[in-house]
């Protein structure tokens, strides 16, 4: 029977949502769900949610505090860890803020993304080793950010691993844009490519009709839409970005440095610090409700995640097309070879098959390369054990370089290294 291992299952709401979607497929009703977390309390809560979600559907639920034990017999491994949890996230915001550096999300690029990646890499190294030892044919589906850094790191240290990064940003971008221009999402055809959280809608059509003119009309009719970073990027670069304004503003040097731009584009500084605290509160409410035997609030009816679709296609052979994050081996010709890119892929019983996109429009590739410079240097720092590359990554980060002097960046890297301490690879702690 098909076995799905959830690593970092203590992310209970996300675990519950994925399980709901997985077990909605009749072909997966009898699968084995293996849950792992290093926190016993969170693992117990995840197990309670899993049993509640599975109901009488026949799915077998097992749990283990041992990662290797949890991975035994797995056909798919879903990774959703957050190394350091809420406390590390707050350090990612508080330390840079003391230097005058603004962040909104801090989990993908910027100084927060760099250090989230550095503290996640040791875990990924261990996870890859365990997967290759215990279930070498399993697909590793990564949800953990920073997505591009994590995918590129795994490709560097474990090239035999069947690892794919999954993110729903492209789906929801196209879904919401289609609603904005009044066309059914399921009738839309689109092509998107780039890097995670900074991909682009290259083509977007309804029954052969280009929808970009309709988007232009909608923006012209609503001045409020123009007060968003992603709309500003679209108007200047010619193609719509696939991630929210909150994310997009910190991957370029043009916005967060300037108070006038923060106000004009309504940028919510420290947004993810608030979200992270809310996630902790949600977990605690869920834990307490389960302990008291109370009912839980229903999940949103419309939740589209790619992992359940990958799993269903592996089991049934049903062909689908989704967006995936993989190493660039001839997929996007004007982005670096081996870099983590986001492209369409076909799913079937044999696995995940990324599509070759070719060249991006020059201006889009240029912006993506600035993003990937930071990814490459951060990964190199860990792979080569060279702390100088951490500083190089920070110096090359667009938003950080726009806000701080070179000496301030150097001091910030030292402060972040001290703040995260033993969570970082040993070679990078000096």
DSSP, collapsed to helix, strand or coil, labels residue 2 as: coil
In this prediction, residues 12-20 reach a mean pLDDT of 85
135 is in an annotated binding site: no
62 strand-pairing partners: 34
Which of 144, 73, 136 has the alpha carbon at shortest distance from 113?
A: 144
Which residues are known catalytic residues?
168
pLDDT tier at 378, thresholds 50, 70, 90: very high
145 is in an annotated binding site: yes
Q: Beta strands 340-348 and 351-354: pairing type?
A: antiparallel
CA distance 313 to 321: 10
CA distance 339 to 373: 9
Cβ(33)–Cβ(2) below 8 Å? no
Q: What is the pLDDT of residues 108-167, one digit of tens each?
A: 999 999 999 999 999 999 999 999 999 999 999 999 999 999 999 999 999 999 999 999
As given in the structure block, the two tokens for residue 242 are 């696939």
249 is in an annotated binding site: no
pLDDT over 90 (residue 4): yes
332 strand-pairing partners: 358
Q: What is the pLDDT of residues 184-231, one digit of tens each?
A: 999 999 999 999 999 999 999 999 999 999 999 999 999 999 999 999
CA distance 35 to 61: 8
Residue 241, CA distances (Å) to 150, 197, 244 in order: 21, 8, 8
- What pTM value is reported for the model? 0.96
Q: Is the dihedral of CA 247, 280, 142, 338 positive or negative?
A: positive
**How confident is the prediction for the chain on average, in pLDDT?**
95
Cβ(193)–Cβ(341) below 8 Å? yes
The set of residues, in sequence order, having a beta carbon less than 8 Å from that of 65 and lying 6+ positions away, is: 36, 37, 38, 40, 43
CA distance 395 to 408: 10
Task: Say what the pLDDT of residue 57 is.
Answer: 63
Q: Which domains does the chain have, with CATH numbers?
A: 3-169+297-330 (3.90.1820.10)
Strands (E), 258-410: 320-327, 340-348, 351-354
């Amino acid at each position: 029977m098909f076995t799905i291992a959830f690593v970092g299952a203590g992310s209970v709401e996300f675990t519950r949502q994925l399980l709901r979607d997985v077990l909605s497929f009749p072909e997966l009703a009898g699968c084995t769900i293996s849950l792992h977390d290093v926190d016993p309390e969170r693992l117990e809560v995840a197990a309670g949610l899993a049993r509640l979600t599975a109901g009488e559907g026949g799915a077998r639920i097992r749990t283990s505090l041992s990662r290797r034990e949890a991975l035994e017999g797995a056909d798919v491994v879903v990774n959703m860890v957050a190394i350091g949890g809420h406390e590390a996230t707050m350090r990612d915001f508080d330390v840079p803020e003391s230097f005058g550096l603004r962040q909104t999300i801090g989990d993908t690029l910027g100084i927060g993304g760099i250090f989230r990646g550095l503290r996640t890499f040791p875990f990924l190294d261990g996870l890859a080793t365990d997967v290759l030892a215990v279930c070498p044919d399993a697909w590793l589906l990564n949800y953990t950010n920073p997505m591009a850094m994590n995918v590129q790191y795994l490709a560097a240290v474990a090239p035999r691993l069947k690892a794919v990064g999954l993110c729903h940003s492209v789906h929801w971008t196209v879904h919401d844009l289609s609603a904005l221009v009044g066309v059914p999402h399921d009738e839309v055809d689109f092509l998107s490519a780039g890097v995670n959280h900074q991909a682009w809608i290259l083509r977007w059509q309804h029954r052969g009709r280009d929808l970009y003119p309709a988007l232009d009309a909608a923006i012209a009719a609503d001045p409020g839409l123009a007060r968003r970073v992603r709309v500003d990027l679209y108007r200047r670069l010619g193609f719509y970005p696939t991630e929210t304004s909150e994310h997009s503003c910190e991957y370029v040097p043009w916005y967060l440095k300037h108070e006038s731009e923060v106000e004009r584009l309504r940028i919510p500084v420290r947004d993810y610090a608030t979200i992270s605290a809310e996630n902790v509160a949600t977990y605690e409410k869920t834990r307490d409700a389960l302990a008291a035997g109370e009912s839980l609030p229903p999940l949103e009816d419309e939740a589209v995640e790619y992992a359940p679709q990958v799993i269903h296609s592996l089991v049934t052979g049903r062909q689908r097309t989704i967006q995936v994050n993989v190493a660039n081996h001839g997929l996007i010709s004007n982005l670096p070879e081996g870099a983590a890119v986001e492209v369409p892929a076909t799913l079937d019983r044999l696995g995940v098959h990324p599509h070759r996109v070719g060249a991006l429009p020059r201006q889009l590739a240029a912006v993506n390369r600035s993003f990937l410079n930071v990814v490459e240097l951060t990964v190199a720092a860990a792979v080569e054990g060279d702390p100088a590359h951490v500083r190089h990554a920070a110096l090359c980060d667009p938003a950080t370089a726009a806000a701080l002097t070179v000496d301030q960046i150097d001091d910030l890297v030292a402060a972040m290294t001290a703040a995260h301490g033993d969570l970082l690879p040993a070679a990078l702690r000096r």
